[in-house]
Chains A and B, each alone.
Chain A
């Protein structure tokens, strides 16, 4: 039924999807800037974060408008989940911006001769983000649940990169500055994994009305 309230909910959903699309593009471009050492692209990503911030404000306004009409059942879950999803997306946008900033710095300095699996970490994180967003679009809680345990892989890979960078800094103090940039990038990717996990948990709540945060009931352990 196309009543005014449903139209408001549709507008909220569309805005969230648009915001998610901007955020996903931002993360992808930040990583491209890092891997391709593309200073100009890194700057563009940083500047585009304002768009994401603006989306968050707009979504919060819409959520408050919809809450004044006292939604119930799935409508209530969508409206409350939307606020949390927008917040997580905004933070992912911030991390993309941070990656872009450090990518820009690294692009202006000579590369460090070290084999780090930053592309692998980036790939994992992007898959998590895509999985969480697809789960939201399709209201698919199984896909959302599948995202959550992958965060442990991300954490492990981040720790491994951290360990390698510490070794590199001890072996060649000339590279400390650049290694610190890479450490921040790796940590940012790990944080994006955390936010993607939060998004997936919000989608599970939206679909199942079940709050799985902090319950240990998030999904199967990784082998």
Chain B
């Protein structure tokens, strides 16, 4: 396995009053993002804790997915994007010129709204990232694939057809396969952009259960439009509105007694 170019996570001191969980792993500092002349994120500052689930909520266009994509520099792929401010993981600025973006994305995995398995076998989907990172040994790959599929709560459903096409799986299974693929390369952070929005309630419940299991080992940031989903699975919730972070606090606080009227109006369905 190649070395990871970013330094090991060094716990930084938690700032008073910031709901960062055990240790702030991700620190966003005065972050603004522009699509051309349009300012999509406005001076966002927040710290996200290690091995907790943080939900980003807000109406469409509020910037929550944009911020999520800043956390592993997915926005680099979009033309005309410019950022100001800093995003630090373990205290190190991920936008610094010496950072290897491929290695960053290995540490910060992503699961998208629409499951996107490769047109390959179930096994090869999970092994893909490992092969990309130079793992060739067959038994190492087999062990890693099984472990990832077990952790993604998919193993029992697919163990007898590992070499069948991933495209034959149901929508919920495909999404869990994408999660297995994301965790196979052992990231520290998993970003999820509405991972259950296209799933039925049973598949959604499985993915949510999986997220709660995964937080024992991973730090998870999830964008969701589903308030109840945020309430069920997240420890912290950040509410965004028109590019601004309106409120960030413990999930129970946000959903029982938000401090800001805009948050109250949004979570009670008065706007958005």
- B268 → chain A closest CB, angstroms: 5
- Give a binary string over B91-130; 1 marks a CB under 8 Å from any A CB, 0 the rest: 0000000000000000000000000000000000000000
Distance, CA A70 to CA B226, complexed state (A): 11
Distance, CA A1 to CA B269, complexed state (A): 9
- A5 → chain B closest CB, angstroms: 6
Closest residue to A5 on the B side, CB-wise? B269
Q: Is the interface of B mostly helix, strand, loop or mixed?
A: helix
Q: Which of B156-206 contact A (CB under 8 A)?
A: none
Report if A149 contacts B (CB, 8 A).
no
- Residues of A in contact with B, size category: 10 to 19
Are B268 and A70 interface neighbours, CB within 8 A? no
Closest residue to B230 on the A side, CB-wise? A72
Name A71's contact: one of B257, B258, B268, B270 (CB within 8 Å): B268
Note all chain A residues with C-beta closer than 8 A to B227.
70, 72
Q: With A5-B269, A209-B256 as given contacts, are A74 and B228 in contact (CB-CB < 8 Å)?
A: no
How many A-B pairs have beta carbons closer than 8 Å: the answer is: 32
CB<8 Å pairs between A and B, sample of 9: A1-B270, A1-B271, A70-B227, A70-B228, A72-B268, A73-B256, A73-B263, A76-B255, A77-B256
Are A73 and B257 interface neighbours, CB within 8 A? yes
- Give a binary string over B251-269; 1 marks a CB under 8 Å from any A CB, 0 the rest: 0000111100001100111
Report if B31 contacts A (CB, 8 A).
no
Interface residues of B (CB under 8 A from A): 227-228, 231, 255-258, 263-264, 267-271
Distance, CA A56 to CA B196, complexed state (A): 38
Distance, CA A76 to CA B263, complexed state (A): 14
Note all chain A residues with C-beta closer than 8 A to B271.
1
Distance, CA A74 to CA B259, complexed state (A): 11
Are B255 and A72 interface neighbours, CB within 8 A? yes
Report if A3 contacts B (CB, 8 A).
yes
Note all chain B residues with C-beta closer than 8 A to A208.
257
- Give a binary string over A2-28; 1 marks a CB under 8 Å from any B CB, 0 the rest: 010100000000000000000000000
- A202 → chain B closest CB, angstroms: 14
Distance, CA A27 to CA B268, complexed state (A): 36
